[in-house]
């Protein structure tokens, strides 16, 4: 159990103004202010995200160059290659491009990366597009650093348009257009779009341009049909759910709920997601994305792309079944690597006299490089430290890195890059290649950087909550209002409330690891669920301060308010 909680104060004047102007409850207003949303206009937009509020594409560097080259390809009936990276963002980006370009009458050759071929867009993949007769290739979620493959195609008379959101290295790209928000000359206001979001913007701008030219197919095509793909890629890539992403994901979740795309409907079916419930970011992050990722993690992501592009329901169900099988295999492989990684971390802690390292850098021969990213993320969740997990084969290691809030992975890797063969990514997630001989030197350099970063920060032992409430405040209407603060995810996390002084009325273990508790306070009661919290089961009659996310539990048409537990705190006194 946690030891204490703290609830930072907010400007009550802003809270009162939002309550009066928007007719919302004080708790909802307080949560908005806590998120930095203090004015009425901004709060109204936050509570009601609309596609019409998306900013136009003005300022996106090389957008006009990309459109011109695509128009030339479409008008000239050139075969267009589309290449996506092997994660969900890469797969959905490729699906966005292929779907739209085909809608405009283009002949498209869509391919996705194989993890066995390494990171990014390589010469081998470039040769495949050349052999297929492509005169233009559009890369998605890769290509920024892949100068060799793009240069090879350029010398062979094939142009390349790059759509990517990874960091931009020094040197001019040989691509005819590089759409990347991290370019120094990119003036689009929001830098947090995933590659699927950038692909959506490009296809929307291309549609507008084609309509101006009298293009009949573009006149009837609706880019909103792509929003389910954009939502999945953005959520899976853990992009900030603010500004444009908040609008795109909010609309995309509604599109996902219709299950109009055969591949998406089949994916929902194998994942066991109820058709009667609205799709949530949790559904995408924990049920859909892992299955889309599974093929790319263990081999070739083409299976996932074929699913998203499937026209026939029977074929989609066949492909979804194969992905589900791959996902089960991935889970087995992942558990083996995770247990080995935890053992290494615990050995480090024991060797350091119980002190947790500033970063967790582990590796072993035989660890499958397709699951090291998931394992790194689980280490971050477990230990609250940046984590790097590397799988070695014949002396060469391929690894993935994940981080905690505020720590920039890309910059840390940049400062340790003399020990790496190659690396790439962004602030929150990255990949790298390191030889076994250089691994210890890299570990030492990275730990030195993270130790310096932590030295200026004193972590608090208290749990930070967004608001203190009474049980009487937590009714169905309040849960509905809190739900309007979603979609929840990176940079817009689920609000945590604390209800002090709740008495345990009943409890039971669900399955083997989950905990159900009914709490009471002044005659009111509430049910709660604590996933993975069975070991923390309290005693009957115990009085606790309860921290959790207040939500609506929908099951078989029934809607009831529920606390999803995060912390059970023995003390009833908050800390200032």
Q: Mean pLDDT of residues grouped by 10 in the chain (576 residues)? A: 81 96 96 95 96 96 98 98 95 98 98 80 96 98 95 97 92 95 95 97 97 93 96 95 97 96 96 88 94 85 96 96 93 94 95 92 93 92 93 93 88 92 84 94 93 74 88 93 94 94 95 94 94 92 95 85 94 49
CA-CA distances (angstroms) from residue 77 to 72, 74, 216, 244, 529? 8, 5, 16, 33, 57
pLDDT at 318: 97
Q: What is the pLDDT of residue 460?
A: 57
Domain residue limits, the chain: 5-48+462-569, 63-322, 356-455
Q: How far, CA to CA in Å, does 315 sit from each of 38, 290, 292, 306, 308?
A: 49, 20, 16, 10, 11
What is the distance between the alpha carbons of residues 367 and 436, in angstroms, rounded to a whole number? 13
Task: Give the containing element (helix H, strand E) for 30.
Answer: helix 26-34
Q: What was the pLDDT predicted at 576?
A: 37
Strand 79-84 versus strand 136-140 pairing type: parallel
pLDDT at 574: 44
Please choose, from the candidates 538, 572, 489, the residue with its C-alpha nearest in 3D space to the C-alpha of residue 3.
572
pTM listed for this prediction: 0.88
C-alpha separations of 172 from 126, 153, 160 in Å: 19, 16, 14
Q: 3-state DSSP call for residue 490?
A: coil
The H or E element containing residue 108 is strand 107-112
3-state helix, strand, coil in the chain (%, to 5): 45, 20, 35
Residue 359, phi then psi, degrees to nearest 5 = -150, 155
Predicted local distance difference test score (pLDDT) of residue 298: 78
pLDDT of residue 114: 84
The 8-class DSSP code of residue 489 comes to B
What is the CATH code of the structural domain delimited by 63-322? 3.90.1640.30
CATH class of 356-455: alpha beta
Domain 5-48+462-569, CATH class in plain words: mainly beta
Q: How far apart are CA 26 and CA 20, in angstroms?
A: 10
User: Quick one: CA torsion of 235, 241, 244, 249, rounded to 10 degrees?
Assistant: 40
């Amino acid at each position: 159990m946690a030891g204490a909680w703290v609830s930072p104060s907010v400007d009550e004047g802003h809270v009162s103004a939002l309550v009066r102007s928007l007719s919302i409850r004080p708790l909802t207003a307080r949560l908005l202010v806590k998120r930095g949303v203090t004015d009425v206009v901004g709060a109204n937009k936050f509570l009601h995200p609309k596609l019409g509020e998306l900013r136009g594409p003005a300022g996106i560097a090389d957008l006009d160059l990309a459109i011109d080259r695509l128009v030339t390809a479409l008008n000239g009936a050139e075969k267009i290659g589309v290449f996506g990276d092997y994660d969900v963002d890469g797969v959905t980006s490729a699906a966005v491009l292929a779907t739209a370009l085909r809608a405009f009458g283009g002949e498209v050759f869509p391919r996705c990366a194989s993890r066995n071929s390494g990171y990014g867009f390589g010469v081998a993949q470039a040769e495949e597009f050349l052999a297929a007769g492509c005169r233009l290739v559009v890369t998605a979620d890769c290509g920024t650093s892949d100068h060799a493959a793009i240069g090879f195609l350029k010398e062979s008379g094939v142009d390349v348009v790059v759509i990517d959101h990874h960091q931009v290295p020094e040197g001019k790209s040989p691509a005819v257009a590089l759409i990347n928000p991290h370019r120094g000359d990119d003036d689009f206001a929001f830098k947090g779009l995933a590659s699927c979001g950038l692909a959506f913007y490009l296809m929307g701008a291309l549609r507008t341009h084609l309509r101006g030219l009298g293009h009949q197919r573009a006149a009837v095509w609706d880019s909103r049909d792509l929003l389910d793909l954009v939502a999945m890629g953005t959520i899976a890539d853990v992009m900030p759910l603010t500004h444009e992403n908040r609008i795109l994901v909010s609309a995309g979740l509604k599109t996902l709920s219709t299950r109009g795309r055969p591949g998406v409907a089949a994916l929902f079916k194998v994942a066991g997601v109820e058709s009667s419930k609205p799709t949530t970011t949790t559904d995408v992050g924990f049920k859909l994305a892992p299955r889309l990722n599974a093929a790319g993690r263990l081999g070739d992501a083409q299976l996932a792309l074929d699913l998203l592009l499937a026209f026939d329901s029977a074929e989609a169900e066949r492909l979804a079944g194969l992905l589900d099988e791959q996902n089960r295999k991935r889970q087995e492989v992942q558990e083996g690597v995770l247990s080995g990684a935890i053992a290494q971390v615990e050995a480090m802690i024991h060797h350091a006299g119980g002190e947790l390292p500033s970063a967790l850098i582990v590796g072993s021969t035989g660890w499958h490089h397709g699951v090291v990213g998931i394992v790194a993320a689980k280490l971050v969740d477990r230990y609250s430290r940046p984590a790097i997990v590397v799988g070695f084969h014949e002396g060469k290691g391929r690894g993935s890195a994940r981080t905690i809030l505020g720590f920039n992975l890309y910059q840390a890797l940049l400062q340790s890059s003399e020990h790496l063969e190659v690396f790439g990514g962004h602030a929150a997630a990255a990949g790298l290649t390191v030889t076994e001989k250089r691994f210890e030197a890299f570990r030492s350099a990275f730990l030195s950087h993270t130790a310096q970063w932590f030295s200026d920060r004193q972590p608090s032992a208290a749990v930070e909550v967004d608001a203190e409430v009474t049980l009487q405040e937590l009714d169905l209407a309040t849960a509905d209002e809190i739900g309007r603060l979603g979609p929840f995810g990176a940079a817009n996390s689920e609000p945590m409330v604390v209800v002090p002084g709740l008495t345990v009325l009943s409890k039971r273990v669900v399955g083997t690891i989950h905990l159900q508790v009914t709490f009471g306070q002044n005659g009111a009661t509430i049910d709660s669920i604590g996933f993975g919290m069975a070991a923390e089961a309290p005693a009957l009659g115990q009085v606790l301060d309860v921290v959790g996310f207040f939500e609506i539990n929908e099951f078989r048409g029934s809607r009831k308010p529920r606390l999803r537990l995060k912390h059970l705190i023995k003390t009833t006194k908050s800390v200032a």
